[in-house]
C-alpha cells in the first residue's frame, strides 16, 4: 500500500517537473527567437476589448465651478498695489510730522489721526504682501477691502504740502477698517 502511495506521489512530481521543463523550454525559445513586429501586430491583443465600456457622456447641464479665489486675487491685487503706492507721499509727510513732534516743533496733523492712518496703512501692506490672502478672506471681507480701496482713491491728494491736515482728516473720516 505504501509503495502505491509513493509511486503516485512520485508520478505527480514527475508530471510537475515535466510541465516545468516544457515551460522552461518555451520561455527559452521565446527569448532566443522573439516574434517579429509583423507577428506581434497581427496577433490579437492579450485582453478582450469586449470588456471595455466607454464612460457615459458628460451632461450638458454640468458646470464646473470657476476659480473665484484666483480671479478675486487677480482683480484685487492691482487695486491693492495702487492703493498702497498712492498714499506713500502722505506717509512720508507723516514721518516728517513725527520728527517735528520729536523736536517739539508744531505739528499740523494730530497724533490720533497719524496713528489711525499708520494702522490702516500697515494693514494694507500686510494684505498686499500676504500669500494667504485668497485663502483667509471671506467674500464679505473681499468686498470691504475693495470698497475701502475705492474710498481711498476718491480722496484728492492734490497740493499735498499745503493740504496735508485736510487730506489726513478726510482719510480718517472714511473710517477705513481692513481685515
Residue 160 resides in a domain? yes
Instruction: Answer yes or no: is 100 within a domain.
Output: yes
Q: Is 49 part of a structural domain of the chain?
A: no
> Rounded to an integer, what distance in angstroms lies between the CA atom of residue 104 and that of residue 85?
30
Q: Is residue 53 part of a domain?
A: no
* Domain that includes residue 141, residue range: 68-173
Q: Give the Cα separation of 28 and 68 in Å (integer).
A: 62
Same domain, 163 and 117: yes
Within-domain flag for 98: yes
Q: Which residues contact 124 (CB under 8 A, 6 or more apart)?
A: 80, 83, 84, 178
Q: In terms of domains, do 81 and 150 share one?
A: yes
Q: Are 26 and 73 contained in the same domain?
A: no
Per-residue pLDDT for the chain (179 aa), expressed as one digit of tens each?
787 788 888 888 989 999 999 999 988 988 898 888 888 777 766 665 566 677 888 888 777 666 666 777 777 788 888 898 999 999 999 999 999 999 989 999 999 999 999 999 998 888 888 866 666 777 788 888 889 999 999 999 999 989 999 999 999 999 888 87
Same domain, 122 and 81: yes
Q: How many domains is the chain built from?
A: 2
Amino acid at each position: 500500500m505504501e509503495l502505491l502511495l509513493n509511486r503516485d506521489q512520485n508520478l505527480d512530481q514527475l508530471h510537475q517537473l515535466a510541465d516545468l521543463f516544457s515551460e522552461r523550454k518555451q520561455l527559452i525559445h521565446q527569448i532566443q527567437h522573439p516574434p517579429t513586429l509583423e507577428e506581434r501586430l497581427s496577433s490579437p491583443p492579450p485582453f478582450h476589448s469586449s470588456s471595455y465600456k466607454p464612460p457615459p457622456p458628460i451632461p450638458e447641464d454640468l458646470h464646473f465651478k470657476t476659480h473665484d479665489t484666483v480671479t478675486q486675487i487677480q482683480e484685487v491685487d492691482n487695486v491693492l498695489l495702487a492703493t498702497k503706492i498712492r498714499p506713500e507721499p502722505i506717509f512720508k509727510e507723516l514721518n516728517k510730522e513725527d520728527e517735528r513732534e520729536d523736536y517739539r516743533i508744531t505739528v499740523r496733523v494730530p497724533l490720533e489721526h497719524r496713528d489711525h492712518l499708520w494702522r490702516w496703512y500697515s494693514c494694507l501692506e500686510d494684505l498686499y504682501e500676504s500669500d494667504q490672502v485668497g485663502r483667509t478672506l471671506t467674500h464679505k471681507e473681499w468686498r470691504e477691502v475693495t470698497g475701502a480701496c475705492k474710498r481711498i482713491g476718491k480722496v484728492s491728494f492734490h497740493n499735498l504740502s499745503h493740504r496735508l491736515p485736510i487730506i489726513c482728516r478726510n482719510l480718517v473720516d472714511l473710517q477705513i477698517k481692513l481685515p
